[in-house]
């Protein structure tokens, strides 16, 4: 007795071809990933840090504001750029790295004058800056990873952007 099973694999092959085509142009997928991380970063600013809250700044404590959100310049400067098969998320604000990674204490000396004029203190030849604690605002949260994996699956398997 012979049993013959016939299976039409055209749909499976077409689905695989579609997935392969989508893997060639991942620009739209990378754009979505960039937007996800930008939104997550905005939430980091709104909540004062995630998953752990940032150490409150003296300005925020004195004014009842949110740390790293005085003018909103840093928060609003986060951009994403897709180039080829890479998405870059970052900022061009010059003081961003100091807040992201923190700084060590250091001595401040005048650059253009003979002395520093510190309000409430007066003229000084130098001042000691205590440094800044790291307040990482640009990071991928655990829940972002779940969203990004879902985006990858949807894009490759279903073509959803």
Of 159 and 85, the one with more pLDDT: 85
Contact 24, 79 (CB under 8 A): no
Question: Which DSSP string corresponds to 73-136?
Answer: HHHHT-EEEEETTEEEEE---TTHHHHHH-B--EEE--SSSSSEEETTTEEES-EEE--B----
The pair phi, psi for residue 81, each rounded to 5°, is -140, 125
pLDDT at 1: 86
Least trusted range by pLDDT, from 1-15, 29-43, 59-73: 1-15
The domain in which residue 147 lies consists of: 10-95+137-158
pLDDT at 83: 97
Q: Is residue 68 part of a domain?
A: yes
Q: Is residue 1 part of a domain?
A: no
Peptide bond between residue 4 and the one before it cis (omega within 30 degrees of 0): no
Q: Is residue 46 part of a domain?
A: yes
pLDDT at 104: 96
pLDDT at 161: 67
Kindly tell me the number of DSSP H helices and DSSP E strands found in the chain.
Answer: 6, 6
pTM: 0.81
Give CA–CA dist 121/76, Å, rounded.
34
pLDDT tens, residue by residue, 88-147: 999 999 999 999 999 999 888 888 887 777 788 778 787 888 999 999 999 999 999 999
Q: Is residue 55 part of a domain?
A: yes
pLDDT at 159: 77
Q: Is residue 34 part of a domain?
A: yes
Q: Is residue 122 part of a domain?
A: no
Please give the tally of structural domains in the chain: 1
Q: Is residue 100 part of a domain?
A: no
Q: Is residue 15 part of a domain?
A: yes
């Amino acid at each position: 007795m012979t049993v013959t099973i016939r299976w039409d694999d055209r749909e499976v092959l077409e689905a695989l071809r579609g997935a392969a085509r989508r893997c060639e142009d991942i620009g739209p997928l990378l754009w979505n990933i960039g937007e996800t991380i930008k939104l997550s970063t905005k939430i980091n600013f709104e909540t004062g840090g995630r998953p752990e809250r940032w150490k409150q700044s003296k300005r925020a404590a004195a004014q009842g504001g949110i740390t790293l959100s005085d003018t909103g310049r840093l928060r609003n400067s986060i951009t994403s750029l897709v180039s080829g098969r890479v998405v870059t998320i970052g900022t061009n604000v010059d003081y961003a790295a100091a807040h992201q990674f923190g700084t060590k204490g250091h001595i401040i000396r005048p650059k253009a004058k003979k002395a520093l004029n510190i309000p409430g203190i007066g003229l000084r030849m130098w001042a000691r800056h205590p440094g800044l604690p790291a307040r990482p605002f640009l990071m991928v949260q655990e829940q972002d990873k779940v969203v990004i994996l879902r985006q990858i699956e949807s894009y490759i398997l279903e073509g959803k952007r």
